[in-house]
Structure 1
Amino acid sequence: MSKKQGKPKLSYSERKKIEEQKQRKSMQRLIWITIAVVAVIVGLIWLAPGQNGGGQAANISTEGLPVTGNSDAPVKIIEYGDFKCPSCQYFTQQIYPKLKADYIDKGEVALYFANFPFIGKDSFTAAYAAQAVYRQNSEAFWPFYKSIYDNQRDERTAWATSEYLVELASKANLGINLEQLKKDIDGETYKSEVQKQYNSGVSNGVNSTPTLFVNGVKFDKFSDYNALKQLIEQQKGAK
Structure 2
Amino acid sequence: MATKKKGKQVKKTHTKKRGARIWIFAAIGVFAVALIVLLVVGNVQNGQTTFDYTGQPYLGDKHAPVKIVEFGDYKCPYCKNFNETAFPDMQKDLVDTGKATFYFMNDPFIYTDSSRAALFAETVYHKLGNKVFWQFHDELYARQPDGAKYEQMDVYKPAFLEKTLKTVTNETNVNKVVKAFNAGTYKKGLKTDQSYVKKLGIQGTPAFYVNGKAFKGTTYDELIDMVNKAAKK
TM-score class, shorter: 0.7 to 0.9
Distance of 1:227 and 1:174 partners within structure 2: 41
Deviations 1:112-144 (A, max 9, x none): 111111111111110111011101122211111
Unmatched 5+ stretches in structure 1? 1-47
Distance of 2:161 and 2:100 partners within structure 1: 29
What is aligned with 1:152? Answer: 144
8 A Cα contact 1:50 1:213, kept in partner: no
Aligned positions of 1:1-239 closer than 5 A: 51=45, 57-138=48-129, 139-153=131-145, 154-173=150-169, 177-219=173-215, 221=217, 223-238=218-233
Q: What stretches of structure 1 move > 3 A for 4+ residues in a row? A: none
Q: Residues 157 and 49 from structure 1, CA distance in 2 versus in 1: closer, same or farther, beyond 3 angstroms? A: closer
Greater relative contact order, per chain length (Cα 8 Å cut-off, separation 6+)? 2
**Amino acid paired to 1:59:** T
8 A Cα contact 1:115 1:194, kept in partner: yes
**Amino acid paired to 1:235:** A
Q: CA deviation at 1:73?
A: 0.4
Larger Rg: 1
Q: Residues 98 and 143 from structure 1, CA distance in 2 versus in 1: closer, same or farther, beyond 3 angstroms? A: same
Deviations 1:16-49 (A, max 9, x none): xxxxxxxxxxxxxxxxxxxxxxxxxxxxxxxx99
TM score, norm. by length of structure 2 = 0.75
Unmatched 5+ stretches in structure 2? 1-41
Distance of 1:49 and 1:171 partners within structure 2: 38
Cα RMSD for the two superposed structures: 2.1
Percent identical pairs in the alignment equals: 29
Moved more, 189-198 or 169-178: 169-178
Distance of 1:67 and 1:90 partners within structure 2: 19
